[in-house]
Amino acid sequence: MADVRMSTTDLDASPPMRCKNEGASRLGYQKHYVVDGGKARVILDVLVTPAEVTENLPMLELLWRARFRWRLRPYSVTGDAAYGTLENVAAVEKAGMRAYIVLPKHDERGPFFGKNEFAYDAERDLYICPQGETLHRKGHDYKERSIRYAAKPSACNLCPLKTRCMKSKKGRWLRRSFDEEFLQRVRGYGDTEPYRKALRKRQVWVEPLFAEAKDWHGSRRFRLRTLEKVNAEALLIAAGQNIKRLLTYGHRGPRREAQVVALRRPALDPYEFCGVRRHRKRCPWHPARVFQHPGPFWAASE
């Protein structure tokens, strides 16, 4: 759709961003956060991409950049099913980190037997179908980095479970990736408590950051246009979110009253806003330019 639809005011914005109310796609952007796994929820990196870029594509680049920039050695990486691609999982596991990432279940969506229904025999290097027939290795596909396994067409055509397995008359076949061992390792994490705990923490620590940026910092609709300026705006918003967490969880940080002074200093004149309301009633056509200017930053440490 990005080749068909184009914004007349922002050439970098692209579909598809689904509008739940209207049921149609709109042009826009998509924001990505890299968050440190802790109660402070420090945002390590931010990236804004056109909406047509899927979430799994910039994951590894953001991860390596955050590791190099902040000199981090994370124990694990957590993400939802949108990041659960074979390339991401294999790269994280090869780097010595545990990929606590939800794997999408594509095989369970169709009406036929999925790949998980077939048992793999590592010693003989073959698959065994639910009916007991074997699928032997037939060749490699180096472009897709996979191995092809297929059963005999004569055995599949006479199988009583053929209607639940396939429609073709050429026999059932499967693909096994070169990095299949990493997928099996990640599937084994699903039965462990650290994996479930990491996903629970992600829902509580990471997801609210996006809601906070949208509801309190105006990230629901960017004020600027073009990809470069939108990224600059997203970085400023994330910096403001980190400042609030620095004041709360930093070493010898200020107390709660000082936090309020630093983040949002109350008006000195209690009747100031009453005058603003009267002015807006008298001059509704004139935009109000009233801001709460905070004092010097050193005042927060008093």
- Residues 175, 142: contact at Cβ < 8 Å? no
Catalogue the long-range contacts made by 37-41 (C-beta closer than 8 Å, 24 or more residues apart).
37/74, 37/76, 37/78, 37/198, 37/201, 37/205, 38/205, 39/205, 39/249, 40/245, 40/246, 40/248, 40/249, 41/205, 41/206, 41/209, 41/245
Kindly report the pTM of this predicted structure: 0.70
**Residue 121 and residue 93 share a domain:** no
**Residue 120 and residue 28 share a domain:** no
pLDDT at 2: 61
**Residue 157 and residue 88 share a domain:** no
**Residue 213 and residue 174 share a domain:** no
**Residue 202 and residue 126 share a domain:** no
pLDDT at 299: 33
**Residue 38 and residue 96 share a domain:** yes
CA-to-CA separations, 232 to 48, 57, 93, 183, 264, in angstroms, rounded: 9, 21, 32, 36, 23
**Residue 189 and residue 166 share a domain:** no
pLDDT at 289: 43
CA 123 remoteness from chain centre:
38
**Residue 67 and residue 215 share a domain:** yes
**Residue 162 and residue 194 share a domain:** no
What span, in angstroms and rounded, lies between the C-alpha atoms of 103 and 86? Answer: 9
In a domain, 40, yes or no: yes
Farthest-apart Cα atoms in the chain, separation: 89
What is the signed CA dihedral for 165, 168, 169, 173, rounded to 10 degrees?
-60
pLDDT at 63: 92
What span, in angstroms and rounded, lies between the C-alpha atoms of 294 and 291? Answer: 9
In a domain, 133, yes or no: yes
In a domain, 240, yes or no: no
**Residue 90 and residue 26 share a domain:** yes
Domain limit, last residue, from 178, 199, 227: 178
In a domain, 123, yes or no: yes
**Residue 266 and residue 230 share a domain:** no
In a domain, 2, yes or no: no
When divided into structural domains, the chain yields a total of 3
Q: Which amino acid is at 238?
A: A
In a domain, 263, yes or no: yes
**Residue 152 and residue 36 share a domain:** no
In a domain, 85, yes or no: yes
pLDDT at 300: 35
Mean pLDDT per 10-residue section of the chain, whose length is 302 residues = 70 65 66 84 89 88 90 88 88 91 73 77 82 82 82 82 79 83 87 90 86 86 87 91 78 51 50 51 49 37 32
Range of the domain at 210: 14-106+184-235
In a domain, 197, yes or no: yes
pLDDT at 282: 57
